[in-house]
Structure 1
Amino acid sequence: MVVGLKPTWMVTNIYDLTPKDLRAHGIRAVLTDLDNTLIAWNNPDGTPELRHWLNLLELAGIKVIVVSNNSRRRVDRAVAPFNLPYVHRALKPLTVGMHRALRRWHLRRDEVIMVGDQLMTDIWAANRSGIRSVLVKPILKSDAWVTKGNRLMEKFVMWRLRHRYPKLTWQEDLHERKTH
């Protein structure tokens, strides 16, 4: 089971994903989790750094699509200032939301990545969908109450992953080796 939770890459934060790196890997779209990946779970307004990153990707023609387990109202409120498309109630770790995004925006699995801060939802859903996955460190050390149980499980899973894959480490970009 632990193999299905192994990310393709582990990158410190989403802003380390540059248009140049993404294009080098044939990536046309970034599917991303919302809370603690794109924005802090308790600050839906984002940061200037986020706006800059989104502008860079837009200029490079790389689409950013939020794939979140949150309600339509929550996701709409969070992404409205950034004018981002989204899939709400994605049901991660199920593959429903990933498949919905691929169909809606006419994307192939090999031209997208899924970025998220949780192994048990984001990475597992991406891997089960055949999409390359990028684990990022959570923006905040605290979590919404619904995430706290997952974090406990993730500590154990990460311990198992690192024992099975000793080269599994945090990277600064996608040029460093994949975690495979």
Structure 2
Amino acid sequence: MFEMLVPKLRVNTVFDIPLEELYIKGYRGIITDLDNTLVGAKAPLATPELLLWFEKVKQFGFKLIIVSNNNMNRVSRFATPLNIGFVHQARKPSNAPFRKAMKQMELSPEQTIVVGDQMLTDVYGGNRLGLHTVLVLPISVKDEGIGTRINRRIEQIALTRLRKQGLWHEHEEEKLK
């Protein structure tokens, strides 16, 4: 069970994702979380740096979709002006939103990357379907809702267990699998 919480890759931010390497490996689509993955939980718009990253993603040839547990208003306000597809109120880690996103991108699990800041929703959900999971550090935890704060506490318990099992190494260079 705990192994399903281990991402294939850990990076500090989305800007650290090796897009070219992943594209060469055959990945063609990115399912990304919104809050604390792309922007802070209360940030309404993309930063200039994030807009450049979106352009880079498109230039490499990736399809991109946002899958968020947040409500329609929040996700639509962010994604619609950028012409990015989205799935709102996703109820991650349920399989359904990931499958819906892959269907919209017309991609298979073997071609799809999931990027997020939570092990219990993004990583677990992606790993269950065999997607390439990437865990980023949360942008800001001060504005998170109660559900996310509970998840973060559970993640700390899981991390303790993963470290004891030798499945989580703090300072080891993560390699693409």
Fold match (TM-score > 0.5): yes
The 1:81–1:171 alpha-carbon spacing in structure 2 relative to 1, beyond 3 Å, is: farther
Alignment pair present for 1:12 and 2:15: no
Residue 71 of structure 1: how far off its partner (Å): 1.8
1:12–1:170 contact (8 Å) kept in structure 2: no
What is the SS of the residue equivalent to 1:168?
Answer: coil
Partner residue in 2 for 1:107: 107
1:11–1:171 contact (8 Å) kept in structure 2: no
Residue 170 of structure 1: how far off its partner (Å): 6.4
Aligned residue runs from structure 1 range 17-36, under 5 A: 17-36=17-36
Alignment pair present for 1:130 and 2:160: no
User: Which 4+ runs in 1 deviate beyond 6 A?
Assistant: none
Matched pairs, number: 176
For residues 141-180 of structure 1, the C-alpha deviation after alignment (integer angstroms, 9 at most, x for no partner) is 32223311001111111121122235634678xxx524x8
2:114–2:123 contact (8 Å) kept in structure 1: yes
The 1:72–1:114 alpha-carbon spacing in structure 2 relative to 1, beyond 3 Å, is: same
The 1:88–1:170 alpha-carbon spacing in structure 2 relative to 1, beyond 3 Å, is: farther
Aligned residue runs from structure 1 range 17-96, under 5 A: 17-96=17-96
For residues 62-107 of structure 1, the C-alpha deviation after alignment (integer angstroms, 9 at most, x for no partner) is 1111011112222101212322111112211111100111112210
TM-score scaled to structure 2, two decimals?
Answer: 0.91
Q: CA RMSD in A?
A: 1.9
The 1:95–1:155 alpha-carbon spacing in structure 2 relative to 1, beyond 3 Å, is: same
Residue 20 of structure 1: how far off its partner (Å): 1.1
What is the SS of the residue equivalent to 1:26?
Answer: coil
Residue 13 of structure 1: how far off its partner (Å): 1.0
CA distance in 2, matches of 1:169, 1:12: 13
Alignment pair present for 1:98 and 2:90: no
Partner residue in 1 for 2:151: 150
The 1:72–1:55 alpha-carbon spacing in structure 2 relative to 1, beyond 3 Å, is: same
Structure 1: gaps of 5 or more residues:
none
Structure 2: gaps of 5 or more residues:
none
1:10–1:170 contact (8 Å) kept in structure 2: no
CA distance in 2, matches of 1:99, 1:146: 23
CA distance in 1, matches of 2:156, 2:131: 23
TM-score scaled to structure 1, two decimals?
Answer: 0.90
Q: Percent identity?
A: 36
CA distance in 2, matches of 1:45, 1:150: 25
Q: Could you tell me which amino acid in structure 2 is paired with residue 177 of structure 1? A: K
CA distance in 2, matches of 1:162, 1:60: 35
CA distance in 1, matches of 2:171, 2:105: 30
